[in-house]
């Protein structure tokens, strides 16, 4: 790779051991992917240091101890415990204390301790053509597809990029890779975030790691619907960028999305495809579920407003545990607006920093035995997101019941599952 004088100085250790370590890792990454040089980044969404892995926390602490500091604005991804009120989720205190250690290390490094998979709702909004890095697939696809920023799907290298302020120039940082590969004709426009989540899941399974271009939507989706659409694609496939002409900068037309190349044969997507995703993730018994969960990806302020409106003056069934997950920032805004009071008065638990698939419920993680973490027995989780449904099945290893947001809330109130079609008829 060709390095600038400043980059070479970092690699030589002139800027300290932490930057040297970061640059060495980034050079290794760049060489693996054939990058010719580095590019300066303007933002990073980085790894939290997951408390379910003791070594993970110790690595973050080690970097902080070496004097690592964030060279660019850096938000922190979702964690394994709500470090503010861990008792709300029933998390072991040992897990919360370990997660707090990682948070303290991030504080020392200058990270913004957002602990969320939707940092854009917390004010981190990279603009068009901003080179960035992200450990979270939902952040990558939203920033690429809705904001026009440039990011790959990164792992721990996102932390190194934030420390160095650089990233190898390859993948979606290059114009030639930001072009359509598949054309999808949407023949039935979805309604609401849950439908868009299912639409995205269906498309992602076909597109794989390609760049799907969407045509035929009868209206411009809301930001929350775009968020759900991308999250679904990134879950079933390796999609990091979708193009919706007129929404995704700078593409004003389908033709522009394919850079003047002949358009591929379109793939029709209709209501039946969306319904098939709902059916795929409805395997649990309608009267035997343990948790109803909304807020995946972490809820926006507008979604919190919607939850409050649907719950106002009502009460969650006494046998139901209802989780609403969001970021600290959105939770604070909801509290200031009086929405939190309405939601919690109904009996819901509003949880920050984590979610069901990232907390102590997960059975696919490797906690240190000294923590004494034993995942609780969970039969079924009711969700309103295809992303959450997929990862609940994979990580908690239990059944799911996937419905709309309205269906999930009505399920929590009635104590019996309300499916997507029943919710649509209400």
pLDDT at residue number 375: 86
Q: Which of 138, 123, 29 has its CA nearest to residue 75?
A: 123
Domains 179-279 and 281-425 belong to one CATH topology: no
- Mention the CATH class of domain 179-279: alpha beta
Distance CA 128, CA 131 (A): 9
Q: Of 3.90.1210.10, 3.40.1650.10, 3.40.640.10, 3.30.499.10, which CATH number belongs to 281-425?
A: 3.30.499.10
Q: Which helix (H) or strand (E) holds 28?
A: helix 17-32
pLDDT at residue number 158: 98
Please report, for the chain, the start and end positions of each structural domain, with discontinuous segments joined by +.
Answer: 5-174, 179-279, 281-425
Distance CA 34, CA 36 (A): 6
pLDDT at residue number 87: 92
Residue carrying the six token digits 């919706």 = 244
Alpha helices in 72-120 (DSSP H): 93-109
Q: Which two tokens stand for residue 182?
A: 């598949």
User: From the CB of residue 155, how many other CB atoms can be counted at a distance below 10 Å?
Assistant: 12
Pairing of strands 166-168, 38-40: antiparallel
Regions of the chain with pLDDT less than 70: 365-371, 423-426
Residue carrying the six token digits 């939850």 = 307
Report yes or no: 232 and 192 within 8 Å, Cβ to Cβ: no
User: From the CB of residue 395, how many other CB atoms can be counted at a distance below 10 Å?
Assistant: 18
Q: Which of 308, 350, 307 has its CA nearest to residue 328?
A: 350
Q: Which of 362, 371, 353, 364 has its CA nearest to residue 119?
A: 353
The architecture that CATH gives domain 5-174 is 2-Layer Sandwich (3.30)
pLDDT tens digits, one per residue of 108-162? 999 999 999 999 999 999 999 999 999 999 999 999 999 999 999 999 999 999 9
Q: Which two tokens stand for residue 339?
A: 């929405």
pLDDT at residue number 327: 97
pLDDT at residue number 84: 83
User: From the CB of residue 90, how many other CB atoms can be counted at a distance below 10 Å?
Assistant: 12
For the chain, report the end-to-end CA distance as a whole number of angstroms: 60
| Phi, psi at 20, each rounded to 5° | -65, -45
Q: pTM value?
A: 0.96
pLDDT tens digits, one per residue of 44-102? 999 999 998 888 999 999 999 999 999 999 999 999 999 888 999 999 888 999 999 99
Q: Which of 62, 59, 95 has its CA nearest to residue 79?
A: 95
Could you tell me the CA-to-CA distances from 382 to 162, 290, 370 in Å, in that order?
A: 36, 8, 32
Q: Is 27 exposed, middle or buried (CB count within 10 Å of its CB: 0-12, 13-18, 19+)?
A: buried
Max CA separation in the chain (angstroms): 66
């Amino acid at each position: 790779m060709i390095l600038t004088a400043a980059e070479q100085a970092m690699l030589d250790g002139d800027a300290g051991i932490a930057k040297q370590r970061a640059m060495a890792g980034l050079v290794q990454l760049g060489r693996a992917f054939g990058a010719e040089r580095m590019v300066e980044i303007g933002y990073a969404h980085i790894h939290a240091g997951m408390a379910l892995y003791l070594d993970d926390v110790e690595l973050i602490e080690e970097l902080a101890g070496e004097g690592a500091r964030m060279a660019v604005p850096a938000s922190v991804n979702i964690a394994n415990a709500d470090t503010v009120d861990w008792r709300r989720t029933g998390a072991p205190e040992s897990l919360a204390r370990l997660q707090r250690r990682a948070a303290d290390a991030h504080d020392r490094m200058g990270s913004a301790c957002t602990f969320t998979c939707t940092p854009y709702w917390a004010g981190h909004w990279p603009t068009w053509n901003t080179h960035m890095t992200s450990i979270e697939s939902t952040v990558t696809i939203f920033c690429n597809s809705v904001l026009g920023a440039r990011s790959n799907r990164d792992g721990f290298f996102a932390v190194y990029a934030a420390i160095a302020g650089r990233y190898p120039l390859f993948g979606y940082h290059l114009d030639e890779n930001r072009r359509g590969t598949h054309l999808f004709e949407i023949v039935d426009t979805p309604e609401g975030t849950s439908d868009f989540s299912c639409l995205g899941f269906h498309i992602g399974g076909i597109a794989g790691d390609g760049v799907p271009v969407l045509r035929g939507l009868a209206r411009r989706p809301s930001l929350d619907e775009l968020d759900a659409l991308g999250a679904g694609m990134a879950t079933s496939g390796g999609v990091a960028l979708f193009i919706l002409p007129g929404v995704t900068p700078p593409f004003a037309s389908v033709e522009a999305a394919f850079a003047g190349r002949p358009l591929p044969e379109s793939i029709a997507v209709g209501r039946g495809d969306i319904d098939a995703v709902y059916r795929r993730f409805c395997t649990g018994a309608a009267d035997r579920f343990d948790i109803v969960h909304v807020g995946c990806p972490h809820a926006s302020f507008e979604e919190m407003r919607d939850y409050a409106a649907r719950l106002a003056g009502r009460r969650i069934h006494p046998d139901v545990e209802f989780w609403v997950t969001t970021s600290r920032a959105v939770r604070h805004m909801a509290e200031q607006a009086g929405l939190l009071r309405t939601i919690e008065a109904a009996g819901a638990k509003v949880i920050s920093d984590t979610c069901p698939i990232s907390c102590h419920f997960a059975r696919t993680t490797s906690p240190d035995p000294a923590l004494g973490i034993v995942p609780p027995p969970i039969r079924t989780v009711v969700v309103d997101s295809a992303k959450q449904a997929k990862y609940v099945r994979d990580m908690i290893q239990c059944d799911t019941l996937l419905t709309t947001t309205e269906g999930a809330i009505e399920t929590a109130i009635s104590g019996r599952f309300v499916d997507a079609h029943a919710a649509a008829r209400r």
